[in-house]
Structure 1
Amino acid sequence: MTPSDNVTLYRAHLSTIKARIDQALEKGGFDHLLSGLGHREIRIPRRPPLPLQAQRPVQGLAAAYPASPLLDSLYPGRKPVLVYYQPDDYWHVPPSAPEGVWVDEFDIRVISDPAEAVKHLPTGGKTAILGETDAALPGFLPNNPKVVLDYLHFHRAFKTAYELDRMRAAQRRAVPGHLAARAAFQAGAPEMQVHAAYLAATGHTDFDLPYTNIVCLNQHAAVLHYQYKDVAAPPQHRTLLIDAGAEVDGYASDITRTWDNGDSDFATLVSAVDDEQQALCDKVRAGTDYRDLHLECHLRLGNVLRTLGIVDMEPGEMLSSGVTSTFFPHGLGHPIGLQVHDVAGFSDEDGNLIPRPNGHPYLRMTRTLAPGMVVTIEPGIYFIPTLLSKLKATPQAKAVNWAQVEKLLPYGGVRIEDEVHCTDAAPENLTRDAFAALS
């Protein structure tokens, strides 16, 4: 793609975002929008500040400049004003001058003192101010009007061509990391070195990842949000489950892969989950209720449990009795974009709640799929001791092949996760395409 193509994509993207903002302001009866898009959070004395994380209430504008403290304001029908704070600082490297395809689309005002910002902000009329109270300027306390946020958050699910381009790039950045992590696992590295291999291959540091990598060897794969990285290698490498993403221009990727190390039973389980995951990805189609897809995932995983001789029960009965939730206790996936778990997964454009199915409290999306949405599809089968002990105390325990469960316990579990774009026709699997490009 040429630089002029990028400019064209971004210009069309910004036009779409501004039209959404105009509509949101009209719904709320506001004349202007002001968004505080980022500030550094200071920790205890003599410790460095936490990395800047841009606030992203206004999709696409924050993505244009995710790495510097700033404010922007929108007057309907005019260029957005960007107040860009560039301090004269000899303790830290100050933000660099604005650059990129977005620069010509903004009225940029560079300041060196935060107090100067108020001279550039809206006057007159009624202003919707989005942001956090602790980052507010005097006289500009955020009001975060619900009607404005509900509308913007709902429409944030529908990605523009520019956003899809950035999300594909985030996939391409992450995939070499996953391949490097697999190679490190196969070479016998501990979790910390697997993680280091991922960082080196993606060009990320711990601080600029979109989320903290989950790097699990063996039984650690049974901990859904495993938070450590052992520095010592285990005596035997059975499993690598790595849930790790990357970021490009503010847009996140979120990919999970599980690798076996030669055990036939576990390799068969990984392959079976992968087959069902790809079948579910193919069902990311317009008009599909994501809740129904989640329940179908339970039925499919129940069939895997039955086929592999782990549970002798009909999949529908496993679902209704909660047996599948023992082995698959989380949701099918979530919206993704400027945030890994993106906003408005549960509501319509007026902020009305779309409930989860009964008995499925961890599902992170309940909306009906439509063209332009990007969601993750991440089924898994795990052997989690605390959940298995509860299953043992139920009448359904007699249907479980506990000897096979005991054999698989040291492997922890399996999760496979891709990002899938819902289109007017067949879905686009952003993740599989990125892996295929490197094969």
Structure 2
Amino acid sequence: MASLYPLVHSQQLLQRLLALNKPKSLAPALHYCYLVGGHIQTRGTDAEEPFRQEANFKWLSGCDVPGSALTIEYEHEGGDQVDPSRVHTRLWLPDVDEAEVMWCGLPPAPEELAKSLNLTSIQRGWTPAALYPPKPQADVPTFLHTLPLVSPPTTIMARINGPKHTTDYLEKALHYARRYKSPKEVELMTKASEITAGAHKNLMRLVGSGHVSDENAAEAEFVSFCRRNGSKHQAYSPIMAAGTSAGTLHYVDNDRPFPSEPTLLLVDAGADYNCYAADVTRCIPLGNGGRFTKECKEIYELVLNMQYAAFEQIKPGANWEQIQRLMHDVLARGFLKLGIFKVDGAREEEAVRKLLDSGLTSAFYPHGVGHLLGLDVHDVGGLPDEGRHKTDPLLKYLRLRYPLEEGFVVTVEPGCYFNEHLFAPFKNSDMVDHDVLARYRYVGGVRIEDNLLITADGFRNLTPDWLPKTVADVEAVTTGQSA
């Protein structure tokens, strides 16, 4: 079995640690990283929750055994480059608990894990005190790197004679390093996308044929397909929002029957494959013989135009904030054409500028154009907490504030929603034709989402092209004209 997690992940992390800690990191030093994996959580007395390994630990170790620990020891000789021959990664498995074996079976043995995990060593048995480094040489400083909330006992710090313990760098270095997906990670994400696409297309068939008639059954069919095809978990709680429910961005109740009048079912759901996420959204016609109504089709095609406009901009170096502004621009022009927006006496360019300056488009498209994707569905490294745009309604919820680079995987998910709460600040706006708007409210919401790997000259769409997306292709499935 090929190695899933080569040592390059540890090297990438250390390279980032050195970059964050200059100029001190240029001098010789012992860098020591200590991480603890996730533990099984219980509900009530002893009902075990499904276990998913902590993402940073998974990325560095590849290990899914609860209660494990990982140490990375690097004897840096100086300079700004990492010497791979001096990196030692050690995985520490918990001791076998004989009482637990009866309930859960034997955990994997170190020699079994070694067949697929490329680490310096794997062994059983550990305690926190035993995993910290020995007393360092007097002339070589030691940096103990841990994640926040992890602090070595004072007795250990005294024993190893004053190394510098810091939480300033490890988490940030992990977030930077995890942005760049290795070929193996891309392979796993491609598999997750294929399973996800199959589940979406299967659901289109079932909804179109009338075999599914409520949100709960839609979720059950989606999850069942994923389970049958190798995905044990969902990457996030599926969104099965019919009609006006789709105006709530993260609607996860999934407990209502489909409306009796024609509308749409917004399906935002993705498989988890070996802890890697897919995140895909499609919309399915409800009623009307499996075809989009006039208003549903118009909004759906507008959102599809938004996505295509984003695709034209996506390549290394592309500015995500500019793409986000472009989405608002395309939405504004689309709404002007449909008659939902009106700016009396203004030419189109002036009208669009006034609409964007007013923030009105954010009432219909409040979220960001997409986010990083990986071990977490909203993956780390997007710098979403930078505060300089928190007051700009067009950029307020943008989860990626960093130029695109080769190796990133991003979602592209423009949308359009009819939500009374979002629209409330503009309910008296003279730039809205309220009578025309009323004709579209039943649409609820439309979002279209694919997963893109940024390549040297553009991108590769990990979402298979056989998953229907155009109106014609979706209707071909929902009306039974294509398999």
Q: Which one of 135, 142, 146 corresponds to residue 124 of structure 1?
A: 135
Q: Percent identity?
A: 24
Amino acid at match of 2:458: A
What residue number does 1:200 align with?
A: 224
What residue number does 1:331 align with?
A: 368
What residue number does 1:84 align with?
A: 93
Task: Indicate conservation of the 8 Å contact 2:145/2:170, yes or no.
Answer: no
Q: Work out the CA distance in 1 between the residues paired with 2:403 and 2:355.
A: 25
1:342-390: CA deviations, max 9, x gaps?
Answer: 112128xxxx947337233211111111111111111101000122232
Q: Any gaps of 5 or more consecutive residues in structure 2?
A: 75-85, 137-141, 158-164, 344-350, 469-481
Tell me how large the CA RMSD over aligned residues is.
3.2
Is 1:265 paired with 2:290?
no
Q: Work out the CA distance in 2 between the residues paired with 1:26 and 1:286.
A: 22
Q: Work out the CA distance in 2 between the residues paired with 1:199 and 1:140.
A: 47
Is 1:345 paired with 2:382?
yes
Cα displacement (A) at 1:156: 1.8
Task: Indicate conservation of the 8 Å contact 1:354/1:366, yes or no.
Answer: no
What residue number does 2:267 align with?
A: 242
Amino acid at match of 1:379: P
What residue number does 1:165 align with?
A: 187
Alignment of 1:1-400 (within 5 A): 6-7=2-3, 10-11=5-6, 14-24=7-17, 27-28=20-21, 31-43=31-43, 45-46=44-45, 48-57=47-56, 60-62=59-61, 64-66=62-64, 68-76=66-74, 77-85=86-94, 86-88=96-98, 89=100, 90-93=102-105, 95-97=107-109, 98-99=112-113, 102-111=116-125, 116=127, 118-119=129-130, 122-125=133-136, 126=142, 128-131=144-147, 133=149, 145-186=167-208, 187=210, 188-203=212-227, 208-230=233-255, 232-236=257-261, 238-261=263-286, 262=291, 263-313=293-343, 314-346=351-383, 353=386, 355-356=388-389, 358-359=392-393, 360-393=395-428, 397-400=429-432
Worse-superposed segment, 379-388 or 403-412: 403-412
Worse-superposed segment, 398-407 or 197-206: 197-206
**Residues 434/54 of structure 1: CA separation in 2 closer, same or farther (3 Å cut):** farther
Task: Indicate conservation of the 8 Å contact 1:57/1:130, yes or no.
Answer: no
Structure label with greater radius of gyration:
2
Worse-superposed segment, 20-29 or 383-392: 20-29
1:216-244: CA deviations, max 9, x gaps?
Answer: 11110001111201154443452110111
- Aligned residue for 1:369, secondary structure, equals coil
Task: Indicate conservation of the 8 Å contact 1:291/1:356, yes or no.
Answer: no
What residue number does 2:479 align with?
A: none
- Aligned residue for 2:455, secondary structure, equals coil
Task: Indicate conservation of the 8 Å contact 1:281/1:429, yes or no.
Answer: no
Task: Indicate conservation of the 8 Å contact 1:355/1:366, yes or no.
Answer: no
**Residues 301/19 of structure 1: CA separation in 2 closer, same or farther (3 Å cut):** same
Amino acid at match of 2:432: V
Q: Could you tell me the TM-score, scaled by structure 2's length?
A: 0.77
Task: Indicate conservation of the 8 Å contact 2:5/2:60, yes or no.
Answer: no
- Aligned residue for 2:48, secondary structure, equals coil
Amino acid at match of 2:285: D
What residue number does 1:421 align with?
A: 453
The alignment covers a number of residue pairs equal to 419
Amino acid at match of 1:164: V
Q: Could you list the runs of 4 or more consecutive aligned residues of structure 1 that deviate by over 6 angstroms after TM superposition?
A: 134-141, 204-207
**Residues 117/355 of structure 1: CA separation in 2 closer, same or farther (3 Å cut):** same
Cα displacement (A) at 1:433: 4.1
Task: Indicate conservation of the 8 Å contact 1:38/1:70, yes or no.
Answer: yes
Task: Indicate conservation of the 8 Å contact 1:252/1:339, yes or no.
Answer: yes
Q: Could you tell me the TM-score, scaled by structure 1's length?
A: 0.85
1:127-153: CA deviations, max 9, x gaps?
Answer: 535357599999789x66222322331
